[in-house]
């Protein structure tokens, strides 16, 4: 069963590439989404035994993240047919194949319990995303794709070096511990960390390098420079997948290393670094979102902010880690509303600049209303689920004595709300420019998915189901299990 979330998308992607009919090809992503969701539900409810000597297994982190990734992909997959129908002038063979396949390496990341296998899965997911960013095939999308690949490759290369450092820490243990063969399974690395056999200098070096490497993939400042171009040029459905899915996979990889650090008794080092990077990311996002004229680049900086919020919560620890994991889910859902609505508005106006876009709620009423609602949801306005998760993080910060950090957090959140709100209001309100038609048709399949995301993110602000709360508690405890 653990192989099915990986194998099914790859088989359907091969069929998509080979299928001669462009009309039927665009329905393969929804078919993949449904099958993946069914298999994931079975795996999450009744976790099967590990496979390949423990290389693939379902753990507490995987239980939360695989379910979330499958749900997000399912909703996004039903946006694809409507999007490709309105972009019928573009060939869709590569896009349909890559979009169908992308959930395979993402699933492998959360199921992999081997350090090397997880790295391979993240690299595969990075490469699989490039054709999706280049869908428009213009100079801007080409530049964005190359920047994404080059900066992402540097981050992945650093993550490889960090993985080698961690392996060296296991192979050459601390003084007083006998050398032994290291399996590089996370369970074995955590056990070695708890017994104190990992070499501390190499372990600390591995953590710092892996933090920078996977932090680049996450988009934490100052390693975020690929995000504005990639998110700005990618179709909205791809932006959602990157902002809510791929960044979550990179966080899973980072949390695996955080768990080893906690097991080794070095949780304080983790908390210091994550708090610092979290606040820096939020500050950078706040600066660049102030008076931002490009509303799609604004969403990229919003992603930087929320990656910072998640890092901040992990840095707080305890209840903050629980809030960070909940925020990771809420952010993915909220970004689904904003990116898909922004993509609809972009197609209607042909521009991403607020100088050319105004009165969206009149020209594309549903997309304009969703864009405005998504803004309130992503900025943690109640009853959004992000309000609940940010509240939990702030409460944990005050409870743990991080008063200055909590105050800075609240100040940056307020600045982001004002800066982002100015851009959103300029896009949604006002009168459409004279050259625009008074009304643009909005296909149903491009409206229902962002509406579903909006309903989900509001529902999580009103009520968190007991099974989800228990799963998040188990995942947070699993990450911070000390010696």
Residue-by-residue DSSP string for 143-202:
HHHHHHHHHHHHHHHHHHHHHHHHHHHHHSPPTTS-------BHHHHHHHHHHT-S-HHH
Q: Does the N-terminal peptide bond of residue 222 adopt cis geometry, omega within 30 degrees of 0?
A: yes
**Closest to 324 (Cα-Cα) out of 307, 337, 341:** 307
For 447, how many CA atoms within 13 A lie in the half-sphere containing its CB?
A: 11
pLDDT recorded at residue 177 = 64
As given in the structure block, the two tokens for residue 55 are: 């290389």
- Taking each helix axis from N to C end, the angle separating 115-133 and 247-263, rounded to the nearest 10 degrees, works out to 160
483: DSSP letter: -
Query: What are the pLDDT tens digits along the chain (483 aa)?
Result: 899 999 999 999 999 999 988 889 999 999 999 999 999 999 999 888 888 888 999 999 999 999 999 999 999 999 999 999 988 888 899 999 999 999 999 999 999 999 999 999 999 999 999 999 999 888 999 999 999 999 999 999 999 999 999 999 988 776 666 666 678 899 999 998 988 889 899 999 999 999 999 999 999 999 999 999 999 999 999 999 999 999 999 999 999 999 999 999 999 999 999 999 999 999 999 999 988 899 999 999 999 999 999 999 999 999 999 999 999 999 999 999 999 999 999 998 888 998 889 889 988 999 999 999 999 999 999 999 999 999 999 999 999 999 999 999 999 999 999 999 999 999 998 777 655 555 567 889 999 999 999 999 999 999 999 999 999 999 999 998 754
Q: Does the N-terminal peptide bond of residue 103 adopt cis geometry, omega within 30 degrees of 0?
A: no
What is the C-alpha end-to-end distance of the chain, expressed in Å? 33
**Closest to 311 (Cα-Cα) out of 268, 334, 279:** 279
**Closest to 49 (Cα-Cα) out of 106, 117, 103, 3:** 3
pLDDT recorded at residue 1 = 84
**Closest to 253 (Cα-Cα) out of 65, 416, 11:** 65
pTM over 0.85: yes
**Closest to 303 (Cα-Cα) out of 238, 230, 372, 227:** 227
Residue 330 in contact with residue 382, Cβ under 8 Å?
Answer: no
As given in the structure block, the two tokens for residue 204 are: 């600390």
**Closest to 92 (Cα-Cα) out of 142, 172, 21:** 21
DSSP assignment string, 374-386: HHHHHTT-TTSHH
């Amino acid at each position: 069963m653990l192989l099915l979330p990986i194998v099914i998308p790859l088989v359907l992607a091969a069929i998509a590439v080979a299928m001669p009919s462009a009309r039927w090809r665009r329905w393969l992503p929804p078919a993949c989404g449904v099958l993946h969701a069914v298999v994931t539900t079975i795996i999450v409810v009744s976790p099967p035994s590990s496979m390949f000597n423990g290389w693939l297994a379902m753990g507490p982190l995987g239980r939360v993240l695989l379910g979330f990734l499958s749900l997000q992909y399912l909703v996004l997959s039903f946006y694809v047919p409507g999007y490709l129908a309105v972009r019928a002038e573009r060939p869709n063979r590569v896009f349909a194949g890559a979009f169908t396949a992308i959930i395979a390496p993402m699933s492998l990341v959360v199921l992999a319990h081997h350090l090397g296998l997880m790295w391979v899965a993240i690299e595969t997911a990075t490469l699989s995303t490039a054709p999706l960013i280049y869908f428009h095939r213009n100079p801007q999308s080409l530049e964005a794709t190359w920047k994404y690949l080059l900066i992402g490759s540097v981050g992945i290369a650093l993550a490889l070096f960090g993985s080698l450092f961690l392996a060296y820490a296991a192979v050459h243990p601390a003084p007083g511990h006998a050398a032994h063969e290291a399996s590089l399974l996370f369970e074995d690395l955590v056990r070695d960390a708890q017994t104190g056999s990992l070499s501390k200098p190499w372990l600390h070096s591995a953590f710092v390098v892996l933090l920078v490497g996977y932090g680049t993939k996450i988009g934490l400042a100052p390693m975020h420079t690929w995000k504005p171009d990639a998110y700005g040029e990618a179709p909205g459905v791809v932006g959602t997948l990157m902002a809510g899915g791929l960044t979550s996979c990179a966080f899973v990889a980072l949390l695996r290393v955080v768990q080893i650090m906690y097991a080794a008794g070095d949780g304080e080092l983790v908390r210091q670094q994550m708090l610092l990077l979290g606040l820096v990311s939020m500050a950078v996002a706040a600066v660049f979102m102030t008076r931002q004229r490009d509303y799609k680049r604004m969403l990229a900086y919003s992603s930087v902010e929320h990656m910072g919020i998640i890092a901040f919560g992990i840095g707080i620890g305890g209840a903050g880690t629980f809030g960070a994991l909940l925020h990771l889910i809420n952010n993915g859902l909220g970004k689904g509303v904003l990116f898909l609505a922004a993509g609809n508005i972009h197609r209607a106006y042909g521009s991403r600049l607020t100088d050319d876009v105004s009165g969206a709620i009149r020209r594309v009423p549903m997309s304009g209303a969703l864009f405005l609602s998504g803004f309130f949801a992503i900025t943690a306005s109640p009853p959004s689920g992000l309000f609940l998760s940010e509240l939990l993080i702030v409460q944990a910060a005050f409870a743990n004595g991080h008063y200055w950090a909590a105050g800075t957090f609240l100040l940056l959140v307020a600045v982001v709300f004002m800066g982002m709100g100015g851009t959103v209001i300029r896009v949604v309100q006002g009168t459409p420019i004279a050259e625009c038609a008074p009304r643009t048709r909005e296909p149903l399949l491009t409206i229902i998915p962002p509406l579903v995301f909006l309903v989900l993110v509001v529902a999580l602000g009103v009520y968190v189901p007991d099974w989800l709360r228990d799963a998040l508690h188990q995942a947070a405890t699993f990450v911070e299990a000390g010696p």
